[in-house]
Amino acid sequence: MPDGRAADLGAAAASYDAAIAAAGGIDLQILGVGENGHIGFNEPTSSFASRTRVKTLAPSTRAANARFFDDPAQVPVHCLTQGLGTILEARHLVLVATGESKARAIAALVEGPITSMVPGSALQLHPHATVIIDEAAASRLTLGDYYRYTADNRPSWQVAG
């Protein structure tokens, strides 16, 4: 994890990206999605070329993460996060989302245009991205029936044996 408590956050971010490169990259990146479509704390309007850096968290993101703190006032306003460019360099991306509260973000991420207003839509650019969702999170997908059909009719080489 990047050191979000470092005295020099810019240096910590650069060090983190350098460590990823020295390790040969990231094989598997596991992601969640925020209700506003953010991934990895890359809030709407994040650059698709961004690297690990300091980001200001949206009020909705802070509210969603308040459950991890004793007092909502303790939720940081800023964080150190992998940028979308860093995330997109992973060899395989897996995004997991559950619940109706994520349905709008999932629909925008999967079926909407690729836009910085929905940072998760960057997954559409990745050659090996897998989105795992429950029925509630899938409830706003226009092509939900088609996605179920394709999953049920995968080629034999895609089915784990």
Give the contacts of 99 (CB within 8 A, at least 6 positions apart): 134, 136, 137
Residue 30's H or E segment, with its range, is: strand 28-31
Res 85: pLDDT: 97
**Alpha-carbon span 97 to 34, nearest angstrom:** 9
**Alpha-carbon span 71 to 93, nearest angstrom:** 33
Please, what CATH class does the domain formed by 9-154 belong to?
alpha beta
- pLDDT tens, per residue, the chain with 161 residues: 888 888 999 999 999 999 999 999 999 999 999 999 999 999 999 999 999 999 999 999 999 999 999 999 999 998 899 999 999 999 999 999 999 999 999 999 999 999 999 999 999 999 999 999 999 999 999 999 999 999 899 998 887 65
Nearest-10 Cα torsion for 78, 68, 38, 83: 50
Res 159: pLDDT: 77
Res 4: pLDDT: 82
Local structure of residue 129 (DSSP, 8 states): E
Res 161: pLDDT: 56
DSSP-derived secondary structure for 65-98: HGGGSSSGGGS-SEEEE--HHHHHTSSEEEEEE-
- Residue 2 in contact with residue 82, Cβ under 8 Å? yes
Tokens 């509260």 identify what position? 101
Tokens 């994520």 identify what position? 102
The pairing of strands 53-56 and 78-81 is antiparallel
Res 15: pLDDT: 95
**Alpha-carbon span 30 to 28, nearest angstrom:** 6
pTM of the model: 0.90
